[in-house]
Amino acid sequence: MYCKLPNHFFPVQASLLTLLLSTLSGCVGVPTGQESAVVTRAQMQMGTLVKITAVARSGAVAQAAATAGFAEIRRLEELLSTWIPTSELSRVNAAAGVLPVHVSLETLTVVQRAVQAAEMTDGGFNIAIGPAVDAWRVTEGQRIPTEAELDALRPLVDLQSVHVDVQEQTIFLEKTGMRIDVGGIGKGYAADQAVDALRRAGAVAGVVALSGDIKTFGRLPGGKMFPVGIQHPRQDGAVLAWIDLQDEAISTAGDYERFFERDGVRYHHILDPRTLQPARSCQSVTVIAREGVWADGLNTGIFVMGPERGMELVEHLPDVEAIIVDQDGRLLVSSGLKQRIRLP
C-alpha cells in the first residue's frame, strides 16, 4: 500500500533529538504517477534504533536504497563495535600492550578522525576514556569512584598512548588495560557512509538517524527541508529549538540521557578526561556540520571545553554550528544559526 508524504510532521522522540518523521511510518511510497516516493524503515543496529528515510523516483528504488543504507551500517558495525568480539576494534583492545593490529581503512579513518577531534577540542573528546566511564557505572551501580581509583586509571586514558600508523595501517594501544571505543564518533561516521550508500542506490534525498545522530541529504518532495527538533535538556519531551536541515548532520551530547543524582548533585556519563569527573559547564551541546563524523565527534569535546571556549572553537570552524545550553540553562547560538533556529 502506498501513501502520500504529508505536508507536515509530528514529533517522534529520537533519543537526544526529535526527528519529525512519525507520519511516514508504514509508508512505502506514493502512488504511481507522482514524482517522488518516500520509504521510512527502522532496525536495531549499533546498539540503538536506526531509522532510514529514502526519497526516490519509485517505491522500489526507495526500498532498495533503504536496504543499502542498513547494509552499510551493519558492515561498519562488524568493524567498529566493541560489543562484537571479532570486530577490528575488539581485536585492537585485546592486543593492548602487546602488539599493533592491522585494520581496515574505515577503522583507521574513524580513529584518525577521533584523534583530530581530540586535538580540536584540547583533549575534551577522548576515545580512550572507557575505563573511567566503567568506574562510574552511571547506568548500573551508580557509584562514585574514589580519587585513588581514578588516579590509578589515568595512565589508561592517555590518548597519547594510542598509536595510529597510517603507512602500516595499524593501531597499537601502548599499555595493557587500555581500550578505545568510537561510540562517540562512529555513529556519525556510519550515518555519512549510509547516506553515500543511499545515493548510490538511487535515492535523491533522505535521512539516516542513529538514535540522536542524524544525517540528511537533499529535500523532501515539494522542496521542503528536513525539520528537526532539539530536545530540551531539563524538560522531558519538550523541544528546545527547531531547525530545518539540508545536506547536513546534527548530533547532541547532553547530561540528561545517562545520569543519576545524589545529594542534589547530578552525575552523568560525559567525563572530563583531565579530571575523570563529570563535566559541569554545560547541560547540552548540539553541533550541526556538513559531515556526521564531525557533528558527532565535536559535541562531546565542546561539552567538556565549556560554553565560552566551545563556542569560540565553533566560530572558527568552517561549516560547523552549535547550540549550547550552559550549566545555568542559558542558551548560546553560533552566528550561523541565529537566523535559522525557531524557538517554541
Beta bridge partners of 41: 52
Domain assignment of residue 124, yes or no: yes
Domain assignment of residue 321, yes or no: no
Domain assignment of residue 171, yes or no: yes
Domain assignment of residue 293, yes or no: no
Q: Total domain count for the chain?
A: 1
Domain assignment of residue 107, yes or no: yes
138 lies in which domain range? 88-182
pLDDT of 139: 78
Q: Dump pLDDT digits (tens) for 69-120.
A: 999 999 999 999 999 999 999 999 999 999 999 999 999 999 999 999 999 9
- What CATH number does residue 166 fall under? 1.10.3980.10
Domain assignment of residue 232, yes or no: no
Beta bridge partners of 333: 323
pLDDT-derived band at 141, boundaries 50, 70, 90 = confident
Domain assignment of residue 168, yes or no: yes
pTM score, whole prediction: 0.90
For the segment 1-18, the average pLDDT, to the nearest whole number, is 31
Q: Dump pLDDT digits (tens) for 15-36.
A: 334 444 433 333 444 433 456 8
C-alpha to C-alpha distance for 59 and 55, rounded to whole angstroms: 8
Domain assignment of residue 153, yes or no: yes
Q: Dump pLDDT digits (tens) for 151-182.
A: 999 999 999 999 999 999 999 999 999 999 99
pLDDT of 257: 85
